[in-house]
């Protein structure tokens, strides 16, 4: 039986070599039909959701590709959150006339961004996964790899909640350190974006 299987594989490769060029590729399996639109273009924000697409191409295994695609999507969320959070913090800093070189407030901003990112990640949900299994003819054998794509969504409300929590956490630290200046800065940030009554939930 083993000899028959080997002979079959040799015949298959021989047939491929007669019709395919070395290095040629073709998709032999997908997770379901053609590529969905979100693989090519990330959806616009809608219904209070922000969308992100992670991907991993030429993964050796499907499981590894899925893990890498999800991690890639998560990194994109973190990058966006850090940029947006930094802008929110910096807007208040500028309005209060605090120079960018102020080490005290700068430390508050950096620590707050770390807390913000940690809180936001909890709200990220995977909406869909799509993969392709690609067959490659090397000229002497067939090899395979996977292209994997992950679509995740983050509710806008999760960002708001995470930002409030980061502000409250930094206020607690400032209070413990008797840093009234930092606490006043954070109070202003709270009022500027969320109102006096804003509390983490």
Please tell me the predicted confidence (pLDDT) of residue 119.
87
The structure tokens listed for 2 are: 């083993």
Look over the chain and give the mean of its residue pLDDT values, rounded to a whole number: 86
Alpha carbon distance 171, 143 (integer Å)? 56
**Nearest CA-CA partner of 56 in 127, 129, 123:** 129
pLDDT confidence band for 199 (50 / 70 / 90):
very low
Reduce the secondary structure of the chain to three states and give it as a string.
CHHHHHHHHHHHHHHHHHHCCCCCEEEEEECCCCCCHHHHCCCCCECCEEEEEEEEEEECCHHHHHHHHHHHHHHHHHHHHHHHHHHHHHHHHHHCCCCCCCHHHHHHHHHHHHHHHHHHHCCCEEEEEEEEEEEEECCCCEEEEEEEEEEEEEEHHHHHHHHHHHHHHHHHHHHHCCCHHHHHHHHHHHHHHHCCCCCCC
φ/ψ of residue 114, rounded to 5: -65, -45
Give the position of tokens 């954070």. 186
* pLDDT one-digit tens code per residue, 75-130: 999 999 989 888 888 888 888 888 888 888 888 888 989 999 998 888 899 999 99
| Distance in angstroms (rounded) separating the CA atoms of residues 73 and 75 | 5
The CB-side HSE value for 118 (13 A sphere, CA atoms) comes to 9
Task: Give yes or no for a contact between 156 and 122, defined as CB atoms under 8 angstroms apart.
Answer: no
pTM, entire model: 0.78
Residue-wise pLDDT tens digits, 134-162: 999 999 999 999 999 999 999 999 988 88
Residue range 30-41: average pLDDT? 94
As a whole number of angstroms, the distance between CA 91 and CA 97 comes to 10
């Amino acid at each position: 039986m083993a000899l028959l299987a080997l002979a079959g594989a040799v015949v298959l490769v021989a047939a491929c070599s007669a019709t395919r060029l070395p290095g040629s590729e073709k998709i032999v399996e997908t997770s379901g039909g053609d590529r969905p639109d979100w693989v090519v273009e990330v959806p616009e924000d809608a219904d209070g959701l922000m969308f992100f697409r992670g991907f991993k191409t030429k993964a050796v295994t499907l499981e590894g590709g899925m893990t890498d695609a999800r991690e890639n999507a998560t990194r994109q969320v973190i990058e966006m959150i850090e940029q947006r959070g930094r802008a929110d913090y910096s807007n208040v800093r500028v309005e209060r006339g605090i120079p960018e070189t102020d080490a005290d407030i700068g430390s508050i901003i950096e620590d707050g961004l770390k807390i913000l990112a940690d809180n936001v990640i909890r709200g990220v949900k995977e909406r869909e996964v799509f993969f392709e299994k690609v067959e490659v003819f090397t000229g002497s054998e067939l090899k395979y790899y996977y292209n994997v794509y992950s679509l995740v969504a983050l509710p806008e409300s999760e960002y708001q909640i995470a930002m409030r929590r980061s502000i409250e956490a930094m206020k607690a630290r400032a209070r413990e350190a008797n840093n009234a200046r930092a606490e006043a800065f954070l109070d202003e940030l709270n009022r500027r974006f969320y109102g006096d009554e804003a509390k983490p939930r």
